[in-house]
Structure formats: structure tokens, C-alpha cells
A and B are shown apart, each in its own frame.
Chain A
Amino acid sequence: MRSPASFRKRQRSTVFVSLLLFQLVLIILQLWLFISALEGILAHEPGMAIPGAIVSAICLAANTWMLLGLNRTDHEH
């Protein structure tokens, strides 16, 4: 029979993998936004650039928030 500590460890591992996958999704989104903005500028249609930069900054904030949360959790344990 597994101990509660073991369950908590497995649970933390699952949460970590979920966060990692979510971060990958955000980075792929950022990459797509960057390429789209670049293509738009080269096609003399720069309307995508500013909204793309705002969304990219939001993704960065989310990633940083997750990283800080992980560091905080590590220090607590």
C-alpha cells in the first residue's frame, strides 16, 4: 500500500507535466504569432504585429508565473 507522501509526489509530478505541456502550447502560440507578424510586415500589412506582441507578452507572463510558482513549491517542500 502506498503512503500518502508517495501519492502527493505522484500528484506533484502529474501537475508538473501538465504545466510543462501547457507551457509548450503557449510557446508554440508565441512562435505562430511571431511568424505571422513577420509575414504580415514583409507583406506590408503590419496590423497583426501589435496585437501579436500583446498576446505574446501575456503568454510570457503566464510562463513566468508558472515558473515562479514551481520555484515556490520547491522551496516549500
Chain B
Amino acid sequence: MEKKLADDFPVDWEEDQYVTRREFFKFMTLASGGLAVGSAALAGYAALPRGQRHFDRAVVAAAADVPVAGFLAFTYPRPTDPCILLQPQPGKFVAYSRRCTHLSCPVEYQPDHQRLYCPCHNGAFSQDDGHVLQGPPPRALPQIQIQIEDGFVVATGVKDA
């Protein structure tokens, strides 16, 4: 029986599975090529311009509806993207994404401290340009590009930090 098996399958199992050092070297070189291609793909992705994204224009609110030193919540560009429109000084409007860049908790406006505050982990952002003032957020809040047209605040795009 064993002889017949050996005749039918003449290649020894261990010998069949044996990988020589040179084969291993070739395989590792192939793996090296794969990693190099992957790194090149990441570099290409990183080089894509994505600082500013343009979306459809959307009327946010009448400028008169935003209280001075107050805020108005809205969504842009999608209905699921919460944003906040501020008027820190009369006639000066700024808008930001309302998602904290740490863990996406909604930030709230604190005009007394001139900041946007995240109550989840004590993160805070500047009301002027959204940069991080304190806490764990790793980057500034994305800024919503706005224009004032005929007394209305119009959102035109999103500028990432």
C-alpha cells in the first residue's frame, strides 16, 4: 500500500513544502516591493490638494437673526453635518463645524471666554480662527466659508485645518 502511495505521489511532502533560502529571499524582495508601492500610494494620497472643499452654496440664515456675541446652529453641507455660526462682534461672522476634532462631541460657544468649548474632555477652540486653545483636540475646527449677500449669510465651502 505504502509503495503504491509512493508511486502515485512520488514527491515527498516535506521536500514539497521546503522553501529554500533563495526562494525566501525572493519572497521578501516581493514583500519589499509591495510595501514600497503602498508607501508611494500613501504619498500620492497625501499630496492631493484637499485644504479647501467647495460645496453647493446654501443660505444659512438672515444676518439679523444672529445675535451679537451669540450663535446660530445650522447644518452644512449635509443635513448630518452640524455647524455653528457666530457673531462675536457686530457685523463680523464666522462659522465652524460643530464637531470637536477630538471625539466629535458638539462644541458650544462661550462668548465670555471668546472660545468654542467642548464639554466632553475640556477642549477649547479660538472663536477667531478655530485653532486649539486647550485640551486633547489634535487640530483646529474646520471653518465654514461664508459670505454676506443681501443681508443673508451664505455658506460656500469648508476649509480644513
Contact = CB atoms under 8 A, between A and B. Distances in A.
21 contacts: A20-B21, A20-B28, A27-B31, A27-B32, A30-B32, A34-B39, A34-B42, A37-B46, A41-B46, A49-B39, A49-B45, A49-B47, A50-B47, A53-B36, A57-B36, A60-B29, A60-B32, A60-B33, A64-B29, A66-B29, A67-B25
A30 B39 contact: yes
B42 A20 contact: no
A67 B29 contact: yes
B63 to A, nearest CB: 32
Interface residues of A, number: 33
A73 B31 CA distance: 22
B32 A59 contact: yes
A43 B32 CA distance: 25
A53 B25 contact: no
B22 interface: yes
B161 interface: yes
A51 B36 CA distance: 12
Contacts of B120: none
Interface of B: 21-22, 24-26, 28-29, 31-33, 35-36, 38-40, 42-43, 45-47, 138-139, 160-161
Main secondary structure of the interface of B (DSSP, over half): helix
Contact of A37 (B32, B33, B43, B160): B43
Contacts, number: 90
Nearest to A57: B36
A44 interface: yes
A70 B138 CA distance: 48
B29 A52 contact: no
Contacts of A20: 21, 24-25, 28
Contacts of B22: 70, 74
A67 B26 contact: yes
Given A44-B139, A44-B161, A53-B40, A34 B24 contact: no
A50 B160 contact: no
Contacts of B28: 20, 23-24, 27, 63
